[in-house]
């Protein structure tokens, strides 16, 4: 199974900050990584697919990059509605696996 | 707009069984691989399993913790997918989500989730 290791597990940030979340795969997954946002009591929401492709309707302050084993989610200019938990996930092989999540909290 | 809606969650005793259902609308259900993902308290999102389209064989794969206890079935005539759960354990307690996917594809859309609690 491919392990997805996210860091940090949590972070505190202020409105307007640039936030970076990283995800490392235990083997090359080319660019088959997706990022989701989840708020308490809500379903996960797809933000980025294929490492760098912005899902329709997602604000452009979200961006993704990386290939092989190392991937990054960047939020440029944190907004109040961005405080949530973020997960990376690989769609390269079965079983599909998720990172452990990164919770973005208000500083 | 593509939508999914789960039903069937509840409280069940250890060793018991439960069947979850998920109905899709707004997309061609028969063309989608359907997956179940759970949010485990204190642990995060965990993939449970998925079933391919009938044209691709309709086969299902499962995560190791549920293999042999859970079964995923689909009924494309009703745009539904089900998750039959047997021999439930306390560690199966989670919110279960139904979601659509495909080969090398992300999970989208997602249902709102249904709570399953395994406790005596």
pLDDT at A19: 98
Confidence of residue A3 (pLDDT cuts 50, 70, 90): very high
Q: Taking CB atoms and an 8 Å limit, are A44 and B50 in contact across chains?
A: no
B71 pLDDT higher than 90: yes
pLDDT at A106: 87
Give the burial class of B40: count Cβ atoms within 10 A of its Cβ; 0-12 exposed, 13-18 middle, 19 or more buried. Answer: middle
Which tens digits make up the pLDDT trace of A17-65? 999 999 999 999 999 999 999 999 999 999 999 999 999 999 999 999 9
Taking residues A63-68, what's their average pLDDT? Answer: 98
How far A24 CA sits from the closest chain B CA (Å)?
A: 17
What is the average pLDDT value for chain B, to the nearest integer? Answer: 97
Confidence of residue B61 (pLDDT cuts 50, 70, 90): very high
Order of strands across the sheet that contains B3-7: B3-7, B18-25, B80-85, B70-75
Taking residues A4-17, what's their average pLDDT? Answer: 97
B chain contacts of residue A90, beta-carbon cutoff 8 Å: none
pLDDT at A29: 97
pLDDT at A36: 98
Interface test with B, best of A46, A53, A96, A103 (most B CBs within 10 A): A96
Instruction: Give the one of A85, A94, A98 whose C-beta lies nearest to B61's C-beta.
Output: A94
pLDDT at A82: 97
pLDDT at B3: 96
Which tens digits make up the pLDDT trace of B89-114? 999 999 999 999 989 999 999 999 99
Beta strands in A1-107 (DSSP E): 4-7, 10-13, 18-25, 33-38, 45-49, 53-54, 62-67, 70-76, 85-90, 97-98, 102-106
């Amino acid at each position: 199974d491919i392990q997805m290791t996210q860091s940090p597990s949590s972070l505190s940030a202020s409105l307007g900050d640039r936030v970076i979340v990283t995800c490392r795969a235990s083997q090359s997954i080319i660019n088959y990584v997706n990022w989701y946002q989840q708020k308490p009591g809500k379903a996960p929401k797809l933000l980025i697919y294929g490492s760098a492709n912005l899902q329709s309707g997602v604000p452009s302050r979200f961006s993704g990059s990386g290939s092989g084993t190392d991937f990054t989610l960047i939020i440029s200019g944190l907004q109040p509605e961005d405080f949530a938990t973020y997960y990376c996930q690989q769609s390269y092989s079965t079983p599909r696996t998720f990172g452990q999540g990164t919770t973005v909290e208000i500083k | 707009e593509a939508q999914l809606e789960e039903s069937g969650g509840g409280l069940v005793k250890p060793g018991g069984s439960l069947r979850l259902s998920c109905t899709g609308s707004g997309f061609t259900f028969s063309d989608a691989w359907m997956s179940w993902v759970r949010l485990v308290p204190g642990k995060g999102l965990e993939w449970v399993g998925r079933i391919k389209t009938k044209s691709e064989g309709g086969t299902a794969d499962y995560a190791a913790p549920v293999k042999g206890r859970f079964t995923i079935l689909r009924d494309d005539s009703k745009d539904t997918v089900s998750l039959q759960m047997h021999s439930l354990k306390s560690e199966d307690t989670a919110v279960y989500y139904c979601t659509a996917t495909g080969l090398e594809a992300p999970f989208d859309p997602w249902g709102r989730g249904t709570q399953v609690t395994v406790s005596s």
